[in-house]
Amino acid sequence: MDPKLLEIYRCLCDETRLRLLHLLKQGPLCVCHFQTILDVPQVAISKHLAYLRQHGLVTAQRHEQWMIYRLSEPSPRELHLQLQCLQDCVQAYPVFKSDLRRLKTLRRDCGWVAEVASPKNKGGRGKRMPAACCDK
Amino acid sequence: MDPKLLEIYRCLCDETRLRLLHLLKQGPLCVCHFQTILDVPQVAISKHLAYLRQHGLVTAQRHEQWMIYRLSEPSPRELHLQLQCLQDCVQAYPVFKSDLRRLKTLRRDCGWVAEVASPKNKGGRGKRMPAACCDK
DNA sequence: TTGACATATACTCCATCGAGTATATGCTCA
DNA sequence: TGAGCATATACTCGATGGAGTATATGTCAA
């Protein structure tokens, strides 16, 4: 059996990874933002992101000192369906809601996040990330 | 975090369990039919069904010497969504197609399966299961 | 070039999982 | 009551997963 679907499910059966994917569904993010939002030790975030990367769900790209993670594009059909379903399921769980709330705050306060998340406004693309990212 | 969603994902990250759930989505089945369809050792089927039962995805009911498994009713929202999504994802995988094919054969040959699966035709409900179920 | 920061990797420990084998339980029928 | 069938449980073993700690790597800026 094509391992894809199983791989996806294995990626989805950890709370931290669910939260990471849920956030990534809103747009690319760097590790330090995940740390801020999830309030989980750096090493855990990093390892879970590595896991997701090894299984092809996300890709990473260095930008100066920061690693930017985003969902794989183009996403295979199963992944797309699963992430949509996750999105629907997650409504009832407070953690995900508060993650979203924190993400919005970050977007407001950190020019960079807002910009990468919705790349329509390209003014200053890649130039607005402050020294410690968003003055974290 | 309410463990429900994670529990569901953990149940979904094994191929045998995916196949079991996929079949149960079509209607109740007894263990011997799972064996016939999946061609997997009895003990494996039994243990995976126990796993699904422990996590509330399926229920079991004895009928004479046979154990009839069915999806939990009413299914919680997440489970419903997930099983629907599984259904969609699974289209591309030959295993699941051939499982369905075998299920249809069983329904044709085994009065009992056909009857339990679509309980509209109630004639002889519970009486038509032959000695060794469907003469397997 | 040194120090600070962001992130990744290596290593250990413990829990869980899945497969296999053997055996137990529950039911039916002769 | 004993045999046979359907199913479940106990036990072992090896693989994988997740947490924590320590350390390495890559980048920037002074």
- Residue B132: inside a domain: no
Q: What tens digit of pLDDT does each residue of A56-98 get?
A: 999 999 988 899 999 998 888 999 999 999 999 999 899 999 9
In this structure, are residues B5 and B78 in contact, taking their beta carbons and an 8 Å threshold?
yes
- Enclosing domain of residue B11: 4-117
| Å between CA of A43 and C1' of D24 | 13
- Residue A74: inside a domain: yes
pLDDT category of residue B61 using cuts at 50, 70 and 90:
very high
Report ipTM for this prediction. 0.87
- Residue B124: inside a domain: no
pLDDT given at position A130: 42
pLDDT category of residue B2 using cuts at 50, 70 and 90:
very low
B37-46, B66-75, B79-88: which has the minimum mean pLDDT?
Answer: B66-75
- Residue A130: inside a domain: no
Please give the average per-residue pLDDT across A8-22, as a whole number: 97
Q: How far is CA B126 from the centre of its chain?
A: 18
Q: How far is CA A56 from the centre of its chain?
A: 14
Total domains in chain A come to 1
- A116 compared with B40, residue with greater pLDDT: B40
Mean of pLDDT over chain A: 84
Nucleotide nearest to A65 (CA to C1'): D27
Please give the average per-residue pLDDT across B82-109, as a whole number: 92
- Residue A90: inside a domain: yes
- Residue B123: inside a domain: no
Closest-CA distance of chain A to residue B89, Å: 5
B88 inside 8 A of chain A by CB: yes
What angle is formed at CA A84 by the lines to CA A82 and CA A89, rounded to 5 degrees? 90
Q: Give contacts of A 16-45 with B, CB under 8 A.
A: 18
What residues of chain B lie within 8 A of the CB of A38, using their CB? none
> Token digits for A63?
């930008």
Q: For the domain that residue A52 is a member of, what is the CATH number?
A: 1.10.10.10
| Å between CA of A136 and C1' of C2 | 24
**What's the CA gap between B134 and A11, in Å, rounded?**
39
For testing the chain B interface, which of A7, A8, A9 should be mutated: the one with the most B CBs within 10 Å?
Answer: A9
- Residue B125: inside a domain: no
* pLDDT above 70: residue B116: no
What residues of chain A lie within 8 A of the CB of B82, using their CB? 85, 89
Pairwise CB contact (< 8 Å): A14 & B5: no
Q: How far lies A9's CA from each of A44, A133, B8, B82, in Å?
A: 19, 33, 10, 11
Chain B residue nearest residue A8, CA to CA: B13
Mean of pLDDT over chain B: 84
Query: Which of A28, A48, A35 lies closest to A107, judged by CA?
Result: A28
pLDDT given at position A87: 95
pLDDT category of residue A118 using cuts at 50, 70 and 90:
low
Q: What tens digit of pLDDT does each residue of B6-28 get?
A: 999 999 999 999 999 999 999 99
pLDDT given at position B131: 37
Nearest-by-Cβ selection for A15 from B1, B88, B92: B1
**Protein residue at shortest CA distance from C1' of C8:** A46
Share of chain A above pLDDT 70, in %: 79
Question: Which residues in chain B belong to E strands, given as ranges?
Answer: 29-30, 58-63, 66-71
- Residue B129: inside a domain: no
* pLDDT above 50: residue A51: yes
